[in-house]
């Protein structure tokens, strides 16, 4: 259903030339597969070969970008886990002396602990109302407060870098 919607919207609204129809169709197939979590997506190269498309994989990917731009779609949405990794890396790069104070002494193990805490928060229906980035900042702040004597300076620095007000 999504594929036919993509094709009809794109083809009719843009008055695409017939020579690009096959490229549009394959690009829409790739987009439909990317938006469905259960689909196994073959490479664009494989799709181009198997469909006997006259367009190169680069042209198919370019058409995919054009379709996304015309529909004003952004397929990438940041997850709370993305924020956890980014914010943790920001703290560790700015404050390299922190790991010895943390109980695990290993940044990877520390991220694993924070991930477990984030999973518990995401499973709590009362916390679903908050943005993932906010939850992650709270988790990291609480962990820093619990483990680090100079936690306030580290947290303030992180909030500045994350461009979050007080």
Does residue 34 share a domain with residue 92?
A: no
Question: How many C-beta neighbours within 10 Å does residue 145 have?
Answer: 13
Environment class of residue 36 by beta-carbon count within 10 Å: exposed (0-12), middle (13-18) or buried (19+)? exposed
Does residue 103 share a domain with residue 59?
A: no
Does residue 52 share a domain with residue 110?
A: no
- Which tokens in the block code for residue 89? 């890396």
> For 53-106, how does the pLDDT look when each residue is reduced to its tens digit (9 = 90+)?
888 999 999 998 888 888 788 777 778 888 899 888 888 888 777 655 555 567
> For 36-55, how does the pLDDT look when each residue is reduced to its tens digit (9 = 90+)?
655 677 788 888 888 888 88
Of 46, 71, 96, the domain-final residue = 71
> What is the domain count for the chain?
2
Does residue 118 share a domain with residue 49?
A: no
- Which tokens in the block code for residue 49? 């070969």
Does residue 88 share a domain with residue 148?
A: yes
Q: How far is CA 42 from CA 2, 45, 46, in A?
A: 18, 8, 6
Q: Which domain holds residue 155?
A: 80-164
Does residue 4 share a domain with residue 64?
A: yes
């Amino acid at each position: 259903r999504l594929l036919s919607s993509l094709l009809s919207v794109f083809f009719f609204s843009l008055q695409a030339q017939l020579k690009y129809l096959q490229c549009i169709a394959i690009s829409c197939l790739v987009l439909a597969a990317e938006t469905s979590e259960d689909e196994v997506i073959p490479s664009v190269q494989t799709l181009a070969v198997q469909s006997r498309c006259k367009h190169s994989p680069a042209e198919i990917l370019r058409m995919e970008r054009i379709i996304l731009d015309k529909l004003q779609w952004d397929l990438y949405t940041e997850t709370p886990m993305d924020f956890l990794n980014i914010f943790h890396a920001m703290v560790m790069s700015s404050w390299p002396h922190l790991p010895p104070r943390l109980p695990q002494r290993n940044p990877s193990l520390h991220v694993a602990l924070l991930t477990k805490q984030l999973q518990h928060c995401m499973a709590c229906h009362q916390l679903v109302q908050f943005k993932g980035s906010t939850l992650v900042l709270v988790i990291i702040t609480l962990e820093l407060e619990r483990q680090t004597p100079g936690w306030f300076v580290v947290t303030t620095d992180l909030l500045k870098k994350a461009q979050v007000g007080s």
